[in-house]
Chains A and B, each alone.
Chain A
């Protein structure tokens, strides 16, 4: 695999974004429409306590991904009510084109006391080609389970082998580097299957081998079928120091499968890496791979988890 970077293609500070956005365009994810490519992302506001709330928004590109057609200025889905799993933010916002409807798999965040937050996966349904989404119930479709105790999120859905397939992450443990440090989370990529996109079956098994160490954090899987094999991109980092130290920060990883069950991790062939300088020189994260008009694209975030926008790369085939 080899990716040709087109650079940063969206800078949130150049547009009017929903609510009192203070920047961030995180986890870009594409919905290919007849006349455009709609790219959803999460942007942030601060609440009265100074903490962040993430909201889903979108920007439309032409089908060659060269030109911005417009940015929506309203959130596409409201946050959850008091005590709900998505009361304090929706990030990421993953869309799946399901024919006459668009399904959105949201990662909803709620704040906790002994740890910073928990997360679960919700479902929104759109009947207007992704302009607005109605939530499927007040609760999540994928929450903590017997062997997935917390932090269930980052869903990516596709149809394959006659079923809906989901790749997602779940938290395994909270770990402290030193006594007195705030706890950091460890999460891994897993897989679920569904007949209807709503009720999912899963087994609590991790599917991507660690490369760094047992506390490696793996996030945001995205899968595409090319040339008879399934290709997964994701991001991974160290459990500690990942915000301030580039060496510990997110990088893009890669794995390959022919049966959707066993995955061979092969980061050396990911074909994309941090730049020597510039907007994606400190980290690369939240990859999203999609196909449009014969081209395969990767949307992704760079430094500071996408505070200053997202970029685009094209697969050199």
Chain B
């Protein structure tokens, strides 16, 4: 099992000075390592409308590279406006995954649209930044990962990587909407992947990658992959499809490994990241992002309420046997 030393919550959006749009939630952290800082992109929300519906915008905080617990900067404005009327990302850009691509940064994000029979639908879009992540612009008004015969709705949780010169995207696809007496329908989604030569034209693998642990209605999200010691390591989160906003049913962090990045062996007992007995991450730990900087390996993650009260950081304790076979 991996051992993580929790370094605590590093950012709470309630401390933001621009609460008109960064009111609550710091979701889906994604780190880009810069010379003196680590820029952590995430998604944040203004207060909900009277009918309880949210928007979500792209944001960042900067962490001091010498001490990642120190926030040295917070963006003032959303990094990109929402999409135009009728487009896939008109009502939100969340989650997000950002990668360095030469002089540019490239962001893959899930767009939110609102529907009549179900609350929302999602598809995955792409945007680039020429100013180090201060602002992003879409490469087109539509999505690059959309619906297809066996991925009918709710495309989300993109995690972008470069592997051997190719673009690889791990993401999730909806499997079913479950009708819930007296409430909104709830989606079930599973981890998938796609590969591409240019990051725009994608070939879907067309297969669920991670076996269920909680039964066929298990929801899986945020498949975050790193390559180390000749193996691919995936951290993700999973939960029940109902009653998931409390400790018993809430998100937990799972783990799987693969030699070829396509076929995965799930071994959640290795993940080593657990809920705390009390505090901001006592009900759920979710949306993990694992990265290395200056010889250390870190996990950024969100806690209770799907990241409502912010982001935390943990450091992998040495020594680590990454073979994990």
Contact = CB atoms under 8 A, between A and B. Distances in A.
B partners with A: yes
B185 A139 contact: no
Contacts of B149: 123, 136-141, 198
Contacts of B125: 146
A204 B150 CA distance: 23
Interface in A58-105: 80-85, 87-88
A173 B125 CA distance: 17
A110 B115 contact: yes
A137 B152 contact: yes
Given A83-B115, A137-B150, A140-B147, A112 B142 contact: no
A145 B143 contact: yes
Nearest to A113: B114
A147 B142 contact: yes
Given A83-B118, A111-B117, A118-B86, A141 B140 contact: no
Given A139-B152, A140-B149, A146-B144, A115 B86 contact: yes
B122 to A, nearest CB: 11
B90 to A, nearest CB: 6
B152 A112 contact: no
B104 interface: no
B146 A143 contact: yes
Interface in A161-184: 171, 173-174, 183
Contacts of A137: 148-150, 152
B148 A143 contact: yes
A310 to B, nearest CB: 29
A140 B151 CA distance: 9
Interface residues of B, number: 39
Question: Is chain B's binding surface mostly helix, strand, loop or mixed?
Answer: loop
B123 interface: yes
A149 B152 contact: no
A114 interface: yes
B118 A114 contact: no
A150 interface: yes
A148 interface: yes
Interface in A158-217: 171, 173-174, 183, 185, 198, 204
B179 interface: yes
Interface in B80-130: 83-88, 90-91, 113-118, 121, 123, 125-126
Which size bracket describes the interface of A in this complex? Answer: 35 or more
Main SS of chain A's interface residues? Answer: loop
A114 B147 contact: no
Nearest to B84: A173
A120 interface: yes
Contact of B88 (A81, A88, A149, A204): A149
A144 interface: yes
A1 B150 CA distance: 43
Contacts of A185: 86
Interface in B149-192: 149-154, 174, 177, 179, 185, 187
B141 interface: yes
A112 B146 contact: no
Given A112-B114, A118-B86, A148 B142 contact: yes
B214 interface: no
Contact of B185 (A82, A85, A143): A82
B197 to A, nearest CB: 14
Contacts of B174: 83
A223 to B, nearest CB: 25
Given A137-B148, A139-B152, A171-B86, A146 B200 contact: yes
A144 B140 CA distance: 11
Sorted nearest first, the 6 A-B pairs with minimum C-beta distance are A137-B149, A139-B152, A146-B140, A111-B116, A149-B142, A113-B114
Given A84-B153, A150-B142, 4 more contacts: A83-B121, A139-B147, A140-B147, A185-B86
27 contacts: A81-B177, A82-B117, A82-B185, A83-B118, A83-B185, A85-B153, A87-B117, A111-B115, A113-B116, A114-B85, A114-B86, A114-B91, A138-B152, A139-B150, A140-B149, A144-B88, A145-B140, A145-B144, A146-B139, A146-B140, A146-B143, A146-B144, A146-B200, A147-B140, A150-B87, A174-B84, A174-B85
Interface of B: 83-88, 90-91, 113-118, 121, 123, 125-126, 139-144, 146-154, 174, 177, 179, 185, 187, 200
Interface of A: 80-85, 87-88, 110-115, 118, 120, 123, 136-141, 143-151, 171, 173-174, 183, 185, 198, 204
